[in-house]
Amino acid sequence: MDAQKSRRQRLNELLETTKGKTYFVVFVTFGFTALMILMGLLPSYSAFVKQLEQNQRRAEHITNLKGKLSVMEDLVVENQEKEAIKNIFNKIMPNGFNQVDYVLEIEEFARTSGLGLNGLTFAISDDVANSIPSVRLDDKVRGMMINIQLDGDREALPEFILDLENSIRLYTIKDLTSIRKSDGELAEDGFLRPYRFTLLVETYYFDTQVQDE
């Protein structure tokens, strides 16, 4: 009690003179300002700056996401607009192999070039990716070997090969043999188709059942 009274007394004594009041104002001002800077201004400023940085990162993230979204939306629109082209592509590089489509096309090529289709056999080819070392293919690419036997004139063969190689379906000729038939064979079919052409052609499809690595 005495100590408190003594402090108050000392304060009153200090404030009685302008010199004392000046010291008091300077002390209070510095004290208040320092306290405000340390307890209020610096933490708030630090939090403000951190939040601002986080917001900038968020803004960048939003820009990236919006870019991706825009690409995705454009692709969806393009996908819908180009449905017809996509359907054609699905036939020329199909997910899975449809032999009937190939038989019909090869038959058509043989017919238009004036060759007789004598036989057509299919066999799955092994390890397509490694069989063409110059290209890097997806694991899901599979090959199908088609053995085509044709009869006819040698003049008709280039047209058939042209059709095959110009087809938007992929046909890679692996082996081509043109053999003149024996006299007996020629006599059998009335000398109409003097040559037998055997083509080993590889075509490709995408096997969606293969799991991604």
Partner 1 sequence: MPVKRPFNLLQPIKPALTLWDKIYDWVLWRARIVILVTIILITGIFVGKVVVDTDAKNKTKEIASVESRLKVLETAYESEFRNLFRREDDYEELWNVGSAYTAVIQEIGSYIGGNVNLNVRVQDNKITIFGTEDLSVLNQVEVAMKSSTSFKNVFVNSLTVDSGQEGLNQGDYILSAEIVAAERPQL
Q: Of 36-75, which residues contact partner 1 (CB under 8 A)?
A: 36-37, 40-41, 44-45, 47-48, 51-52, 54-55, 58-59, 61-62, 65-66, 68-69, 72-73, 75
Is 110 among the residues that bind partner 1 (CB under 8 A)?
A: no
Residues 117-136 that bind partner 1 (CB under 8 A): 132, 134-136
Beta-carbon contacts of residue 123 (< 8 Å; ≥ 6 apart): 144, 145, 147
Based on CB atoms, which residue is closest to partner 1, 42 or 104? Answer: 42
Nearest CA to 147 among 179, 170, 180, 125?
125
Binding-site member from 102, 148, 161, 193 for partner 1 (CB under 8 A): 161
Is 98 among the residues that bind partner 1 (CB under 8 A)?
A: no
Residues 4-33 that bind partner 1 (CB under 8 A): 17-19, 21-22, 25-26, 28-29, 32-33
Based on CB atoms, which residue is closest to partner 1, 6 or 29? Answer: 29
Is 149 among the residues that bind partner 1 (CB under 8 A)?
A: no
Is 148 among the residues that bind partner 1 (CB under 8 A)?
A: no
CB of 94 to partner 1, least distance (A): 9
Based on CB atoms, which residue is closest to partner 1, 86 or 111? Answer: 86
Is 204 among the residues that bind partner 1 (CB under 8 A)?
A: yes
The amino acid that residue 169 corresponds to is R
Per-residue H/E/C for the chain = CHHHHHHHHHHHHHHCCHHHHHHHHHHHHHHHHHHHHHHHHHHHHHHHHHHHHHHHHHHHHHHHHHHHHHHHHHHHHHHHHCHHHHHHHHHHCCECCCHHHHHHHHHHHHHHHCCEEEEEEEEEECCHHHHCCCCCCCCCEEEEEEEEEEEECHHHHHHHHHHHHHCCCCCEEEEEEEEECCHHHHHHCCCCCCEEEEEEEEEEEECCCCCCC
Based on CB atoms, which residue is closest to partner 1, 3 or 52? Answer: 52
Based on CB atoms, which residue is closest to partner 1, 6 or 177? Answer: 177
CB of 9 to partner 1, least distance (A): 21
Binding-site member from 16, 107, 180, 189 for partner 1 (CB under 8 A): 180
Based on CB atoms, which residue is closest to partner 1, 31 or 119? Answer: 31
Dist. CA 15–CA 88, nearest whole Å: 98
Paired strand residues for 173 = 201
